[in-house]
Structures are given as structure tokens and as C-alpha cells.
Amino acid sequence: MPYFWLLLFFAVPFLIALKISFAKAAIAMPPYTDVLYWVDGFPVVKLRGENYLYLLGDSLYINAYLSSLKIAVVSTFLCLLLGYPMAYSISRMAPATRNIALLLVILPSWTSFLIRIYAWVGILKPNGLINNYLMYLGLIDSPLKMLHTPIAVYIGIVYAYLPFMVLPLYTNLVKHDHRLLEAASDLGAKPWQAFLKVTLPLSKAGIIAGCMLVAIPAVGEFVIPEMLGGPETLMIGRVLWQEFFNNRDWPVASAVAMVMLALLIIPIMIFHRAQAKEMEGKLT
């Protein structure tokens, strides 16, 4: 039964989206032409590649894809930079404090995503907290423009996805045998060497899982660029949204989604394999 649910509501929709991405926009309800015709009782499939050509032809889309990827990669890296030391520190704590720290990491991800992003609007806007504080200190005379800039988008993504980086890293790091580091230092490795040679390679699976968990959804992120980014912050999720809701061009929106999916299919498969491995490790 869950199988059919997923098949019906997850797999089939993609096929439909794929189909519609080959259709042509029309002023009708639903607003696209049919791909499948019946001519004298024979089905005729008319695939229109024009939506894809259109995507290729307009630099807007290519730039949006590239900048989405760039933003996702950079913010994933920043997340890792901040999340790894946090996960590492938590995994080295005494069990009682460890659980409290873990709860503190998870708690924000339970509260509304939208509201947490909204909080940054109040902090970053021209008469927001940071600007007010800096002006109060006399460090600046006029407000800095922080809201509606790429920097705000980076902050937002790192902020929203940090728990998703810390959690898989923590689950991996906490399983490490502390004696391995002792053995390394017994064999003459300095702490940072032991970290580089022992801890870091062993936590590879956690790093992969964490990065995929942040990077893949970040590519298609809509809320963060919409609320924190400026008009020049192009992200593909936003382009899709506009194509769909503002221009009501469903076929082009579908094509945008299909290309995005094609870009993400490899990272998703990497993530799936890491996930499956984790499962099997537990089963044996």
C-alpha cells in the first residue's frame, strides 16, 4: 500500500510533469496543449522540444541554474565549516550534556522554517537590529544594505539548513571509537594529525549525507531567495515559481523542473546509496 501511494503520488507525477514539459502553453484550463493525439484511432505523440530550446536560448535560465548551484555549493561548504566543529564537540561531550546540546540543535528545525527566515528580515533590513546597533555604536552613518543581497541568501540557507548538517555528522562521529585517537597519539600522531588521518576519513559517510541533505534542497530553494534575496538573486526555484504562478506557463515550468531534476539526480543517487548503506550496516 505505501508502495502504491508513492507510485501514484510521487513517481507518476514526475512522468506527467515530464510529459507536460513537452507540451505548448495554451490559454485554456488546464493551460497546455495535449501531447497525445488520437488520429483515426491511432495515438500520435507530438513532442515539442521548444520549451527546452527556450530554456537554452534565454540566458536568464542558464544563469539561474548556475547561480543556484553556486549558492548551494557555497552555503553547503559554509554549513560544513560551522557544522563539523559543532557536531564534533557535541559527540565528545558527556552523554547527559550531549543530549541537551543535541536537543538544542534539533529544536529550531521543529519551529517554522518560514518564521525563522522571517526573523532574519527583521535583523538585516535597513532599520533592522544590526544596522540600528551599528549606528548606535557610531560605526556607520547610514544603514548598510544587507537585506535583498546574495549575502542575506547565504546567511538564510546556512541558518535554515545547519541542523541538517549537524545531525548526520553527529550520528556518524558519535559512533567513533575514542580509542582509535588514543592509538594514533600512542603511535606518535599530534592531535591535528590524528584528526586529519583518523577522524576525518572515518566521518566521510556523515559528511556526504550532511552535504547532500543541505545542497540538494538548497538548489531548489524558493522561500529564502524570495524573502531575503534581491531581484538580482536568481535561483531556479524562484524562476520556476514565477513561471508557474505569475506567467502561468505550465509547460515551461515543467521543463525548468525537469532540467533541475536532471541536475540533481546524481547527488540524489549518491545520497540514496549512503542512506542504503547506513541501513544495511544496521541490519547486519
Partner 1 sequence: MSNATRTSKWSWLFLGFGFFFLYAPMLSLIVYSFNENRLVTVWSGFSTKWYGALMQDDQMLAAAWVSLRIAFYTACASVVLGTMAAMVMTRMRGFRGKTLFSGMITAPLVMPEVITGLSLLLLFVSLSTWTGLDFARGMTTIWVAHVTLCMAFVTVVISSRLAELDRSLEEAAMDLGANRVKVFFLITLPIISPALMSGWLLAFTLSLDDLVLASFVSGPSSTTLPMQVFSSARMGVSPKINALATILIVGVSTIGVIGWYFMERAERRRQAEMQAAAKQ
What part of residues 93-122 is at the interface with partner 1 (CB under 8 A)? Answer: 93, 99, 101, 103-108, 110-116, 118-122
Q: Which of 63, 89, 193, 247 binds partner 1 (CB under 8 A)?
A: 89
Q: Which of 46, 70, 272, 277 binds partner 1 (CB under 8 A)?
A: 272
Task: Give me the 165-204 binding string for partner 1, x by CB under 8 A, dash otherwise.
Answer: -x------------------x-----x-------------
Q: Which of 9, 38, 42, 136 binds partner 1 (CB under 8 A)?
A: 9
Q: Which of 90, 146, 153, 169 binds partner 1 (CB under 8 A)?
A: 90
Report the alpha-carbon distance of residue 240 to residue 255 in Å, rounded.
9
For residue 147, the SS3 value is: coil
Q: Find the helix or strand (DSSP H, E) in which 179 lies.
A: helix 178-186
Q: Which of 221, 225, 228, 229 binds partner 1 (CB under 8 A)?
A: 221
Rule CB under 8 A: say whether 14 interacts with partner 1: yes
Task: Give me the 41-80 binding string for partner 1, x by CB under 8 A, dash otherwise.
Answer: ----------------------------------------
Rule CB under 8 A: say whether 154 interacts with partner 1: no
Report the alpha-carbon distance of residue 38 to residue 29 in Å, rounded.
20
Cα 233 to its chain centre, rounded Å, is 16
Place of cell 559512533: 175
Report the alpha-carbon distance of residue 209 to residue 231 in Å, rounded.
32
By CB under 8 A, the residues from 235 to 254 that bind partner 1 are 237, 240-241, 244-245, 250, 253-254
Q: Which of 153, 198, 234, 257 binds partner 1 (CB under 8 A)?
A: 257
Residue 50 beta carbon to partner 1: minimum distance, rounded to whole angstroms: 18
Q: Which amino acid is at 33?
A: T
| Cβ count near 1 (within 10 Å) | 5
The residue range among 50-58, 59-67, 136-144, 274-282 that interacts with partner 1, by the rule CB under 8 A, is: 274-282
Answer whether 84's CB lies under 8 Å from 169's CB. Answer: yes
Nearer Cβ to partner 1, position 147 or 150? 147
- Cα separations (Å) of 186 from 147, 194, 196? 51, 10, 16
| Cβ count near 27 (within 10 Å) | 6
Residue 86 beta carbon to partner 1: minimum distance, rounded to whole angstroms: 4
By CB under 8 A, the residues from 127 to 146 that bind partner 1 are 127-129, 132
**DSSP state at residue 284:** -
Q: Which amino acid is at 247?
A: N
| Cβ count near 209 (within 10 Å) | 23
Answer whether 79's CB lies under 8 Å from 161's CB. Answer: yes
Residue 217 beta carbon to partner 1: minimum distance, rounded to whole angstroms: 6
Residue 190 beta carbon to partner 1: minimum distance, rounded to whole angstroms: 10
User: Which residues does 103 contact at the CB level (< 8 Å), separation at least 6?
Assistant: none
For residue 141, the SS3 value is: coil
Residue 176 beta carbon to partner 1: minimum distance, rounded to whole angstroms: 14
Q: How many residues bind partner 1 (CB under 8 A)?
A: 90
